[in-house]
Amino acid sequence: MSLLSAIRVALEALLVNKGRSTLTSLGIVIGISAVIAMVAAGSGARQKLDDRLETVGKNLILIRAGGRTQQGLVADFVPLTRDDAEAIRKEIGPLLVGATAVQTTQRLALTRTGKSATDVVGVTPDMQRIRNWQVTQGHYLTEDDVKKMAPVCLLGQTARRKLFPAHVNPIGEWVRVDRLRLRVIAVLGEKGRSPTGADQDNQIFVPLTTLQRRLVGEERIGLVLAAARSEEVIERAKAGIVRVMRQRHHLKAGAADDFDVSTVREMAQLAEILAATLTVLVGIIASISLVVGGIGIMNIMLVSVTERTREIGIRMAVGATSADVLSQFLIEAMVLSLVGGLLGISLGIGAATGLAYLAKWPIDISPFIVGLAFVVSAGVGVFFGYYPALKASRLDPIEALRYE
């Protein structure tokens, strides 16, 4: 019997009991679809995370006030100052793009045409280089603006849309925050959402001194931002910042830090570890499902051998060899498993597409994973179908013909 004839006979035998065959392959379908969907969704999620990290800055270093315990709680809170940022910029300058103190307050911003509850962020000119934030209209802050506590501001795209109509050029217009009137000198390019989901464009940037002395009346800060010149020097820059901060805070050897230095890359690695852990858990569940599906195939093939004992006897009586019977039942098991695999691949791609649509992230369906899923489903059929096929091939033709 040719291979095509064997496959045709196998399909005919399986279609005799459509419901039983469908239920038997269900475990294969669930296992394969789970792997395809989670790998595709996981790859898309990582790509989305990378895109968002690009908007934040992959080389970003955050220096926050207060040390952190092993549980992540704040301990020994000591506020940071502008001088800390200046010291970091001077001491670690060759490794950094820049360093800036950052102070943020939430306020209601008003114009003649709109209003917006937004973050008002006090920064220095280094912020543009650190965040690589493009200016679409106007010009960025200057050192002179910081020295003079100038009443000027820069608008993120979301803040600009809320405060001014689309046809109005906001440059030179005024924005009132509390009792302070700020003149718009720039509109920043769009950044989108951060990895935490916050809208980076719903912000108004002002000179740090303007915010500290003319708006909030507080010069203590909780955050300093810096950016390494490349990924290769991030760890060196981080170590240098820790050294400078310990010197400025007069910490003795062995004393715990009263500040925290972290990088965006570390946050990304944590997210990748969580994603990898989830993928492993799904893989384990899918493996169990495949094993259960394989056992189902073995069980149904054993039942099939019993039901078709007389048929096997007739085939052997007219010249079929044990190898012919073995291959026939092995192909039936493989076809059953492959059908389940193909349905699982289709269902997995559909589920991944649905997840991507709902979560608004891209999908990355790897041809390698699809091919591997196909091979695995065939392997399950061969592995679990071998024993029933072997049992069928070893039947005595005379005894098989007598079977009722």
For the stretch 24-45, pLDDT in tens is 788 888 888 888 887 777 777 7
DSSP E strand stretches across 26-162: 60-65, 67-68, 74-75, 96-110, 115-123, 135-138, 152-155
For the stretch 114-164, pLDDT in tens is 998 999 999 999 999 888 888 999 999 999 999 999 999 999 999 999 999
| Of 248 and 18, more confident | 248
Residue 394's Cβ-count burial label (10 Å; 0-12, 13-18, 19+) is: exposed
Identify the band that residue 269 occupies on the pLDDT scale cut at 50, 70 and 90: confident
Closest CA to 391 of 332, 330, 336: 330
For residue 43, the model assigns a pLDDT of 76
HSE-CB of 68 using CA atoms within 13 angstroms: 9
For residue 316, the model assigns a pLDDT of 81
* SS3 at position 394: coil
Residue 206 pLDDT exceeds 90: yes
Kindly calculate the radius of gyration of the chain based on its CA atoms and give it in whole angstroms.
33
Residue 395 pLDDT exceeds 90: no
For the stretch 320-362, pLDDT in tens is 778 878 888 888 888 888 888 888 889 988 888 887 788 777 7
Rounded to an integer, what distance in angstroms lies between the CA atom of residue 96 and that of residue 87? 12
Closest CA to 109 of 146, 158, 169: 158
* Contact between 316 and 403 (Cβ < 8 Å): no
Per-position DSSP letters for 218-271, written without gaps between them: ---BSEEEEEESSGGGHHHHHHHHHHHHHHHTTPPTTPPPSEEEEEHHHHHHHH
CA angle 156, 160, 164 (to 5 degrees): 170
* Contact between 350 and 36 (Cβ < 8 Å): no
| Of 168 and 335, more confident | 168
Share of the chain above pLDDT 90, in %: 27
* SS3 at position 18: helix
Which range, of 101-105, 132-136, 389-393, averages the lowest pLDDT?
Answer: 389-393
Rounded to an integer, what distance in angstroms lies between the CA atom of residue 177 and that of residue 328? 81
Rounded to an integer, what distance in angstroms lies between the CA atom of residue 212 and that of residue 92? 26
The token duo for 26 is 């269900």
